[in-house]
Structure 1
């Protein structure tokens, strides 16, 4: 499998990619950047949720994750139920056949080992289990790279996730608590490592801001406090209904989240602040529409982000960010914008702690607009100091992800030339 071998290494990427979730696609983009830099000879294709999007956007062949096209629609009629059941059987053969064509399969990032959002065991957990079991049976190395994990209450889901992790040839996690959760679920994590989220490996075009190394120096003597004329605020929203264990009170959680977030946006507008609403998934659009309708001000606009690069551009232009979705937070933190997390899961708290902003978290399940506004004002008062902290933490994250890619090459491409340094993807 050297770079000069006659038979190029065949690499598959797997997951809910191209399905409208910008974070998932950002993780894919980071892994493709690594493969193109360090293993340009590799033949790459995908088994994913949105094959047409993946092919058109990233230029790699892709096939649909599920045989049954109505997989994620609620099945109430007999025909739909039968179709789903048959699809589960057909997917056993389809997944195994796809895995067999590859030397390596990579699951790039994503919260594939968690159930922090509503999740059925026979959906993605079943698909992941089929992948990892096929890899073990067919001797194709399956790597779970920089993934998220969390304790799972539902027994079938927990069993599928646990066995998927056990059967994988390589595992790394995006935070320590993910590794701890898998250990508590019975997975031997002694050789598993923790690295920053893969999205931190994405390029940050220089026109969006000062490079981290320069920013550290320039902010060393910067005055504290917000600017004299406060600028725009990005507010990242989410179609949030709680997690897998909150189904009984999902609507109550959603109403409280939407009401609290709307009141917060209205308070910003009353202070004369322009507000830019961000999303991270196609399903978030109704939340944006509800806030725009409730606030009804020309100061509130909605961004149309199609990628993490778009989100980085939006957050770089803001004075501050308040966001719910995990990868909205990452984009804001990566470009060095002071950020407050509406935290819906422990992974958000862990991310904020890693980046030195642990004090700026607010529970998404219990949004208190008054308290949130108070936290936001405290955040802005520390703007210069927080920007310096973020610049320093981003430099650390970049170095740690270099180590992640080096470890991945050693684990998955044992015959590759390790003397060649990892070539980072440059911004256009």
Structure 2
């Protein structure tokens, strides 16, 4: 993405976030933004400041720098040396982040729930990193854009303050749902000019599934076929305010999900277990061990495209992670959400499936199976609804990218260069 015609200096674009770190949703948002840049701004010079630079470089072909100076940033620090390393890292990252931001004209934070704490989160983790980014952008005149991000009310005061100031310092904001915009407004940010668009992952190409033979109890298929149910699982322990009940919440979620998978297998349904983050593997292993059926298999999907291929070939999807839901809805699969946050309910409502939500904190296997059977009875109507909503989402994301170009890539690059130099 470098080498502007006519000898002009290419616009320098950075992408920022926990990218390449094992979360498929985060990487899918990056992929969508890179697709936009390659189409609309092919001469831009793009690089990343991210959690997994080796993965980002290998998978997406752009230079990448490690987000944190201290490599043990996301490991629990109990020994004195580790605590000192983390503390020193916070100071070093001030200068590293500032130096990286200064080299760019534009920095994009692609999607992700960067303004929420629906999962366990410490203020000195990613919220601190995001604040450093946005503050550096304001200091050096680099436009920082929070594009299609998620936000939610945050009770922890230090985390809330960092999120609020990060949003205020950003040059551009858009959200993946109305709830996110309202949450930020309630936290004291002026959102009057901010827009809401579908999640960035809806801009990814929709794969066409290859025809698959029906699996049987004698010879289960390794890929979803007719009759298959994809079940997306999550290493779910509640949110930031649930730390005292984390193990109880996890046990109830795992037990309920296991009961549902067992019931489906006993009905002769092939079940394909899907994940959305590397940490979910332990849940897959626990379910496979507990159910012990040849009809229950585990996917090795390593991208949202892989997930979508699996889901497109299945009859029905039951999913927990937000971007598992996005993938299922995008391919038009009848989908039931195990909702762990309001964002999941909002997404299902936007796609016309608000009747098919079930709380992940209180999984009731019998009620979930009743909802599942009702969803399957309504499958033809659900598929028609999803076709219409997906067409609308595509048009709305076209508007998102047009608005992003207008906000971040002014036609008068020389004038911008003069402003940056002043």
Shorter-chain TM-score range: over 0.9
1:359 maps to which of 343, 349, 355:
355
Could you tell me how far 1:4 is from its partner in structure 2?
5.4
Question: 1:93, 1:265 → 2: CA distance?
Answer: 49
Describe how 1:166-181 pairs up with structure 2 within 5 A: 166-181=168-183
Describe how 1:69-218 pairs up with structure 2 within 5 A: 69-206=71-208
8 Å Cα contact 1:277/1:288 also seen in 2: yes
What's 2:216 paired with? Answer: none
Structure 1 residue 263 and structure 2 residue 265: aligned? no
Question: 2:6, 2:301 → 1: CA distance?
Answer: 39
What's 2:66 paired with? Answer: 64
Change (3 A) 1:395 1:5: farther
| CA RMSD in angstroms, aligned pairs only | 1.5
Question: 2:197, 2:155 → 1: CA distance?
Answer: 26
Question: 1:241, 1:73 → 2: CA distance?
Answer: 17
Question: 1:381, 1:273 → 2: CA distance?
Answer: 16
Alignment deviations for residues 368-419 of structure 1 (CA, whole Å, 9 cap, x no partner): 00000000000000000000000000000000000000000000001179xx
Question: 2:116, 2:6 → 1: CA distance?
Answer: 39
Q: TM-score, normalised by structure 2?
A: 0.93
Question: 1:270, 1:206 → 2: CA distance?
Answer: 30
What's 2:365 paired with? Answer: 369
8 Å Cα contact 2:19/2:56 also seen in 1: yes
Deviation beyond 2 Å, 4+ runs, structure 1: 1-5, 205-209
What's 2:217 paired with? Answer: none
SS across alignment from 1:306? coil
Could you tell me how far 1:208 is from its partner in structure 2?
5.8
Could you tell me how far 1:303 is from its partner in structure 2?
0.2
Could you tell me how far 1:2 is from its partner in structure 2?
8.6
8 Å Cα contact 1:3/1:39 also seen in 2: no
Could you tell me how far 1:205 is from its partner in structure 2?
3.0
Question: 2:287, 2:152 → 1: CA distance?
Answer: 31
Could you tell me how far 1:346 is from its partner in structure 2?
0.2
Alignment deviations for residues 54-88 of structure 1 (CA, whole Å, 9 cap, x no partner): 00000000000000000000000110000000000
8 Å Cα contact 1:96/1:130 also seen in 2: yes
8 Å Cα contact 1:30/1:202 also seen in 2: yes
- Structure 1 regions of 5+ residues with no counterpart? 210-228, 418-428
Could you tell me how far 1:204 is from its partner in structure 2?
1.1
Structure 1 residue 401 and structure 2 residue 397: aligned? yes
| Higher normalized contact order (CA 8 Å, seq sep 6+, divided by chain length) | 1
8 Å Cα contact 2:226/2:314 also seen in 1: no
What's 1:7 paired with? Answer: 9
Number of equivalences: 398
Describe how 1:214-229 pairs up with structure 2 within 5 A: none
8 Å Cα contact 1:68/1:87 also seen in 2: yes
What's 2:417 paired with? Answer: none
8 Å Cα contact 1:230/1:273 also seen in 2: no
8 Å Cα contact 2:226/2:313 also seen in 1: no
- Structure 2 regions of 5+ residues with no counterpart? 212-224, 414-422
What's 2:295 paired with? Answer: 299
8 Å Cα contact 1:111/1:148 also seen in 2: yes
